[in-house]
Amino acid sequence: MRRKVLAGLLAAVAVASTACLTDPLPSWNDGAAKQAILQFVERTTTVGSPDFMPPTERIAVFDNDGTL
């Protein structure tokens, strides 16, 4: 019984990991805000892009209640 539960949990983690690889924001609705964020990240993390920011100069700020 424990092996079946463990196998089920491992399968769920594998599926969730695969989903994150294909869509970095899987819980977001596909819309203008999501696309703008993905495009911004692409521009600022692609070497050679005019908007490229080296990792040492990147800062992220998060707030637990959703305001920033």
Q: What is the pLDDT of residue 65?
A: 75
- Phi and psi at residue 53, to the nearest 5°: -120, 125
What is the value of pTM for the model shown?
Answer: 0.57
Dist. CA 8–CA 57, nearest whole Å: 41
Per-residue pLDDT of the chain (68 residues; tens, 9 = 90+): 666 655 566 665 555 555 446 899 999 999 999 999 999 999 999 999 999 999 999 998 777 776 65
Q: What pLDDT is recorded for position 41?
A: 93
pLDDT of residue 56: 94
Determine the pLDDT at residue 5.
54
